[in-house]
Amino acid sequence: MTDDNHTYSAKCRLAPISRVQREDEVPPVEAQFFYSSVIPIDDPLSTSSTVGADPKTNKGQVRPFSRGDNNALEKAWLSLMSEPSRRAHQDALKNLDRTPQFDTDVLASLIQLITTKHWERHRKGYQPQDVTAPTSDVLPTTPVPACCSELVLDVSQELERAFCALVRRRNPALNVDQVMQQVVFALDRLKKQANDEIEAQPVSNSTPSSRPGTASTSTTNHPITRIPKTTTTTEPRSSKRRSTIGEMRARTNSLSTSQPPRVQTLVGSPGLTRPPVVDDGISGRPFVRVGSPETQPEPGSLPLIGLGGPGQDAPRNPDHPQVVPEREETLTIANQGAQAVPEESQTKVAEVAVGISRLHMVSLPVLQMKPIYWSPINDVAVVSRATWFYRLDTMLPIPPAVANQLEAGYHYLRPWTETWSDELRCAIDVGPLGEEKISHRLWPKDSEIGSGDDFPEPVIPSDPFCAARCFRGEAAAEGNIDTTPVKKATAEDANIPTRPYSNYHVLYKNATEAFLLKPSLKPSAYYGRRPTMKIMKGVTVGIPVARGFDRAAWERLHHKKQAPNKAGASAADESHESRGQDVCAACKADKEKRQVTDLVLVAHGIGQKFAERVESFHFTHAINGFRRAVNMELQSPLVKQVLRDDQNGLMILPLNWRMGLSFEDGGPMREEDKEEYTPEGFGLKDIEPDTIPAVRSMISDIMFDIPFYMSHHKGKMIQALVSEANRVYRLWCRNNPGFAENGRVHMIGHSLGSAMALEILSNQPTTVPRLDWSRKEPEARFFEFDTKNLFLAGSPAGFFLLLERGVLMPRHGRMKPGADSNDIVSKDVVAEAGTFGCLAVDNIYNILAKEDPIAYLLNGAVDPVYAASLKKAYVPSISGSLWKSVGAAMRGVVPGMAPAPNPLVPEPERPSTIRLPSQLELEVHDFTREEIAERKAFLLNDNGQIDWYLRSGGGPLEIQYLNMLSAHSSYWTNHDFIRMLCIEIGRKPGRAHSIPALRATKAAKRLLVD
């Protein structure tokens, strides 16, 4: 759908953004958001890869968001502006001789939030060595160590989100160290109160919920729930006192007074503690105590869109900018005892889903783009908001610091007015001396830059939080993916920033055009230079820049071909603009076109512990490339001819179930594991020799997942995969309303992931209950969706069936399309739920590479005699040898040659040659067993078989023992496997619609008997 089909009315998402008229009459700027990535989110057919990209740099090409996405981002950005923050910033900028004031309620709420978070994180097994906090006779000003390494980062991030950067730098009370000391001091008081209550409580009255080493889940015993109110509701806002550092200390100290402590472990209990393990692991990972299951997300969950509780997971509009208070994620138990912060003092954030597939979310004002459905392992893109652009040849954004200096000069000189036009004409008439008067210096002179408080603050800063909250859309900003907190908060500690074009001057031609002039080009009466006269005559002098983004110029300069749906790639599909009357027909058509009908979840196998250290080995990158390959294959004519009418695309999402599990580090990773954890136990590092450490580390990271799965950790691994799959499915349904009722879900299991899928789907209910949005957490026992097709790649599932003495059986009562109603209830054919090998799926596909040493067959698990009677099946392939390529080329030039065969059509069988004598005893054949096996096979797969081999390259130079090194990880790049996946998922379900080339074929017997 092109731009010409859009109405650009109020209900069209491409309509210009309406802005409020400013009192200073400054024209609004047409800002454009960019992201820095090697993968274009608006081009699903891109074959770029992120493997090997540097996560510490703005990797990749700078790309603009689509018109619709940019409109959604701009609306969300403008909604973040806070009038109190703007006034505070202007007050701090004008009054340099005094410390700026701030809202004490916001800081008190911030300290309480961080205190609650870290108390919940450390309260179980909370030992004196965890937090070396000051005693009561130590002043709060004394530096104290943090409770954990995350505290500094949490304090720094919360301060950035809550206060203007200028106010933070000039007010000592908002220093990271000062706030961190207050948090640690509050934690120390909570710990002391908990210990005092334990010492005063009789041991005989202990209950299972309050025994040493455990904690009660009741909120009545939680000290945070009884934190007294920091302000009274009767005090008017206008009479609020402004804070000093001493007042804030007193306010923080009151957070933990007069509160009954919660039950904790006795400090003097013998044999219950040991010194904290610094590194028990095999991957350099320290032992970290983390939060409880009430507050911690499931493994691999994203804090970007968590599952917060009843009513929060209901399907909503992911594309409409979600502007929510930052305090929305505050723990409920903390909010019960604390007074709510006024709405005008709350920090707001916005989250906007972007991209043609809406797999990424932009967080504002932090200006970062992260994936929605998987963990952002080296997959965080920097986002920038640009206001000024290089006008000649590129239309690329100017760095935010330079753009803000241009904007500040623009506000000062007011070149959009008729007065400025008169000044330009007068300057040209006067000559070089007159042109010098209208030439504006981009940066202050070096002589104007002092030290300490004399350092001039920029009129328009580039800090993302300040640019969003303290200005009305004129500030440019850029995000940052470096999470290292900057603890310097005073002007004395601030370094002079780098200043691009430091000696340049700028000449403003009109309301949208300007020119950057280096010293040798600026107006000069001494040298007689008159660049203004040349510029007004249309001559380009210096670097031409433009205020506002010109998308037509960008498309023209970068030779962009307008795709049929490129203009409609927006994040505003489900907003109010797509409902009601006068809806844009083009927007509605784009929305319907992108409703994906099939969701494919991919469970990885072994080795993802190794990927935590070797980024290029990560499973997510392989799936990103796999997704793009699937999108390309869906566009091929060969696949399109077999797709069903209502098929509208596939979405491939990874399930990173291994993240969040730690069996190697000598301690549990999740809170619910701590009851089974014995601190006096040993870890892998305690028993591992120090020889060949690189080899040992690689083997343990890659291969140890298998023995862990076969140990008592199996249940935790199964639960991790189920929880992650349900978390991703819930997010997808919430972001795609209607999918839970009309969509289809499929699953791919690779390596160990296939064995885990076999275990889970054996216990999966035959009929899945309706998705319950009121649940606080996703289901951890079974999938909350019905799995239609299960693809096993490089699977050892057959070996696990052999170990457990199981067989593959269809599920009783599962009426798949085209199945015989008598077969699904026959005791000889089907089995009940809970039987190992009886899966709740419609079709099972076992794909294996010939040289894959991990893969096993599954046809024999149905019936070995039936499996032996089948011909070896290969995945249809269109890639051939050199001679086939030459033959295909000759067909185009030599008349009379037969066309190339269709790979989806089976090869014709040669007639069997059977010559039997007149007297020969025939063997007895069990037709009943063959019939039952065949009925089972067709219930397990519409094609009557489960196993397919991938064709290898072939040729005289092929060496199987070399191919096996990469065979196990080659499935994600194999085009034959990708094509089979698209065809089998996209075709009409049922045995009658199966592809002839994939159907089971009996092995022909050629008997020559004389």
pLDDT at 747 over 50: yes
Q: 14 with 118, same domain?
A: no
Q: 789 with 935, same domain?
A: yes
pLDDT category of residue 746 using cuts at 50, 70 and 90: very high
**Top-confidence range, 511-520, 554-563, 869-878:** 511-520
Q: 652 with 537, same domain?
A: no
Q: Is 471 exposed, middle or buried (0-12, 13-18, 19+ CB in 10 A)?
A: buried
Q: 742 with 829, same domain?
A: yes
Residues ≥6 apart with Cβ < 8 Å to 671:
124, 290, 291, 292, 293, 296
pLDDT category of residue 678 using cuts at 50, 70 and 90: low
Domain assignment present for 104: yes
Lowest mean pLDDT among 98-107, 362-371, 510-519, 718-727: 98-107
Distance CA 401, CA 391 (A): 18
Q: 435 with 497, same domain?
A: yes
Residues β-bridged to residue 599: 651, 745
pLDDT at 356 over 90: no
Q: How much is the pLDDT for 523?
A: 94
Domain final position from 230, 256, 282: 256
Q: 528 with 442, same domain?
A: yes
Domain assignment present for 971: yes
Q: Which two tokens stand for residue 257?
A: 């007074």
Q: How much is the pLDDT for 400?
A: 95
How many CB atoms within 10 Å of residue 699? 13
**Top-confidence range, 87-91, 104-108, 728-732:** 728-732
Of 620, 647, 621, 653, the C-alpha closest to 634 is 647
Q: 543 with 643, same domain?
A: no
Q: For 790, phi and psi rounded to 5 degrees?
A: -115, 120
Domain final position from 503, 523, 557: 557
- Kind and range of the H or E element at 936? helix 927-940
Stronger pLDDT, 302 or 103, i.e. the higher one: 103
Domain assignment present for 833: yes
Lowest mean pLDDT among 181-195, 300-314, 761-775, 927-941: 300-314
pLDDT at 266 over 60: no
Domain assignment present for 340: no
Q: 508 with 627, same domain?
A: no
Q: 611 with 545, same domain?
A: no
Give Cα separations from 390 to 157, 393, 548 (angstroms).
Answer: 33, 8, 10
Distance CA 394, CA 384 (A): 17
Look at the chain and report how many structural domains it folds into: 3
Distance CA 507, CA 518 (A): 11
pLDDT at 1010 over 80: no
Domain assignment present for 320: no
Domain that holds residue 814: 602-663+704-883+925-998
Domain assignment present for 961: yes
pLDDT category of residue 581 using cuts at 50, 70 and 90: low
pLDDT at 566 over 50: no
pLDDT at 226 over 50: no
Residues written for the chain = 1010
Q: Rounded to an integer, what is the distance from CA 918 to the centroid of its chain?
A: 73
The pLDDT tens digits of the residues spanning 680-728 come to 666 667 777 877 776 676 666 566 777 888 888 889 999 999 999 999 9
Q: 615 with 540, same domain?
A: no
The pLDDT tens digits of the residues spanning 25-61 come to 899 999 999 998 877 776 665 544 444 344 444 456 8
Domain assignment present for 657: yes
- 590 and 565 Cβ atoms separated by less than 8 Å: yes
Q: Give one DSSP letter per residue of 10-27, joined into a string.
A: TT-TTSPPP-PPPTT-PP
Stronger pLDDT, 671 or 307, i.e. the higher one: 671
Largest Cα span, the chain: 123
Q: 543 with 611, same domain?
A: no
Q: How much is the pLDDT for 675?
A: 52
Domain assignment present for 303: no
pLDDT at 756 over 50: yes
Domain final position from 210, 227, 256: 256
Stronger pLDDT, 492 or 32, i.e. the higher one: 32
Q: How much is the pLDDT for 733?
A: 93
pLDDT at 633 over 60: yes
Classify the C-alpha dihedral 747-752-757-762 as positive or negative.
positive
Helix/strand/coil for 557: helix
Q: Which two tokens stand for residue 682?
A: 């040993």
Dihedral (Cα; 182, 185, 191, 194), 10-degree rounding:
-80
Lowest mean pLDDT among 402-416, 735-749, 888-902: 888-902
Q: 148 with 10, same domain?
A: no
Q: Give one DSSP letter per residue of 257-300, joined into a string.
A: SS-PPPP---TT-TTS--PPPS--SSSS--------TTTSPPTT
